[in-house]
Amino acid sequence: MKRISIALCVIFTVAAGAAVAGSNTTYNFLRSDVGARAAALGGSFISMTDDPVSIFYNPSALATLSSTQVSFGFFKHLLDINSGYASYGQEVADLGHIGAGIVYVNYGEFTRTDELGNKLGTFSANELALSVGYASELMPRVKYGANLKFIYSQIAEAASSAMAIDLGALYKFDEPRLMVGFSLLNLGTQLDPYLSTRESLPVDFKIGATIEPEHVPVLLNLNFHHLNETESDFVGRFRAFSVGAEFTVSEEIQLRAGYNNERRRELKIGSSTGLAGFSLGAGVMFDQYKVDYAFNSYGTIGSLHRVSVGIAF
């Protein structure tokens, strides 16, 4: 317990020091959901287990992988933005679990003009983040993990890069059947700014829990995001939350639903929000393959459809 207390103190101290990150950051694509399963749960994925996509949410969850697994997906975002990811995780005997993941975004082509509006051709914009992670068991019930992350962004001839680390921990309770997770993501600095001014990375301190009610085949999630960011009042610090539920219908089928409160607030246009922030999804498993689908509503702006494929070896 003493080691657990020390570890938590370190995480909270670093998170508090990262509060200056606020919202004036770059590389904000790192805040987007990765994978159809996580997206269907509204992004409440910090304490989910046995999924290689967890490397993007809580690296310590790599230590819960029951086999070598890969996962990948591609989807078209709003405004013809293309995005995708790939992740991998496996156990190494006498060492622990290792993993890797990549996320990329292609924003398409834009028309280049001069100050008078004359067309000068086109330019493109792309971003990616490459992570390598390690996770292990600190003691029974406690997992820990960390990622080393390289970030790259390019807009026309301007480019920027950065290095960051992700830290995470998981604690398992037997009664009730509960998993509690902590993660501190994108803690680092720019190596090269776009121009001459260095910008902060989107540091995100998250806390989440997953509970499995007795005799009910469902996982219920509650996550709090951006706890490191300064708010005007105490309650405001907890407005960025998400909830999710994953129902196991059979050994082959899972149904999911989620809600992201921060996304709903950000997508409010006038007095209208529609179904912004709500999500639905499903997973189908056969042999060692798994296909996940997610629908995310952006209210009056539109909606997103994601498909991911996972393979266990």
3-class SS string, 238-276 = HCCEEEEEEEECCCCEEEEEEEEHHHHHHCCECCECCCC
Q: Which residue has the tokens 């105490």?
A: 234
**Burial classification of residue 44, based on how many CB atoms lie within 10 Å of its CB (0-12 exposed, 13-18 middle, 19 or more buried):** buried
pLDDT at residue 132 in the model: 98
> How long a stretch of residues is the chain?
313
pLDDT at residue 99 in the model: 97
d(CA 21, CA 111): 32
pLDDT at residue 160 in the model: 94
pLDDT at residue 10 in the model: 41
Count of domains observed in the chain: 1
Coil/strand/helix, residue 126: strand
Tell me the pLDDT band of 112, cut-offs 50, 70 and 90: confident
d(CA 313, CA 310): 10
Tell me the pLDDT band of 270, cut-offs 50, 70 and 90: low
DSSP for 180-222, written as a single string: EEEEEEEEEEEEE-SSS---B---EEEEEEEE--TTS-EEEEE
Amino acid sitting at position 187: L
Q: Once rounded to an integer, what is the mean pLDDT over residues 230-237?
A: 76
CATH number at residue 94: 2.40.160.60
CB 225 within 8 A of CB 207: no
Q: Which residue has the tokens 């070598």?
A: 68
Q: Compute the C-alpha angle 286/292/294, nearest 5°.
A: 155
Q: Once rounded to an integer, what is the mean pLDDT over residues 126-138?
A: 96
212-234 burial, b at 16+ Cβ within 10 Å, e below that, comes to: eeeeeeebbbbbbbbbbbeeeee
**Burial classification of residue 79, based on how many CB atoms lie within 10 Å of its CB (0-12 exposed, 13-18 middle, 19 or more buried):** exposed
In this structure, of 115-119, 167-171, 182-186, 200-204, the range with the lowest mean pLDDT score is 115-119
Write the pLDDT tens digit of every residue in 37-66.
999 999 999 999 999 999 999 999 999 999
Our measurement of the distance from residue 14's CA atom to the centroid of its chain's CA atoms, rounded to an integer in Å, reads 19
d(CA 78, CA 163): 28
Q: Does pLDDT of 168 surpass 50? A: yes
pLDDT at residue 271 in the model: 65
In this structure, the dihedral spanned by the alpha carbons of residues 71, 266, 170 and 95, taken in order and rounded to 10 degrees, is 40
pTM for the whole thing? 0.88
pLDDT at residue 2 in the model: 45
Coil/strand/helix, residue 20: helix
Q: Compute the C-alpha angle 148/53/130, nearest 5°.
A: 35
In this structure, of 22-26, 137-141, 159-163, the range with the lowest mean pLDDT score is 22-26
pLDDT at residue 8 in the model: 40
Structural domain including 152 reads: 2-312
- What would the two tokens of residue 36 be? 């159809």
> Hey, which residues does 98 pair with through a beta bridge?
90, 134
pLDDT at residue 173 in the model: 92
Strand 241-248 to strand 204-211: parallel, antiparallel, or no bridges (unpaired)? Answer: unpaired
Q: Once rounded to an integer, what is the mean pLDDT over residues 92-109?
A: 94
Q: Once rounded to an integer, what is the mean pLDDT over residues 82-86?
A: 94
Our measurement of the distance from residue 40's CA atom to the centroid of its chain's CA atoms, rounded to an integer in Å, reads 12
Local structure of residue 13 (DSSP, 8 states): H
